[in-house]
Amino acid sequence: MDLGSHGGFIVAAYVFTAAVMAALVGNAVRDRRAQLRALKGFGEERR
């Protein structure tokens, strides 16, 4: 596969996109865990 003179830019764009996607997924997982902890704590306070 020959990317020509723009090969570096193309590879960098793919790497950047993969990093952003991984960060978004990581943030969603982290937020889900925090929300579950908050909901669990809320249910225990009402009892």
Mean residue pLDDT of the chain comes to 90
Q: Rounded to whole angstroms, how far apart are CA atoms 9 and 3? A: 10
Residue type, 35: Q
Residue carrying the six token digits 């704590």: 41
Structure tokens at 46: 């009402």
Residue carrying the six token digits 């723009």: 6
- pTM, two decimals, is 0.72
Q: Rounded to whole angstroms, how far apart are CA atoms 8 and 6? A: 6
Residue type, 26: G
pLDDT in tens, 28-46: 999 999 999 999 987 766 5
Contact 3, 11 (CB under 8 A): yes
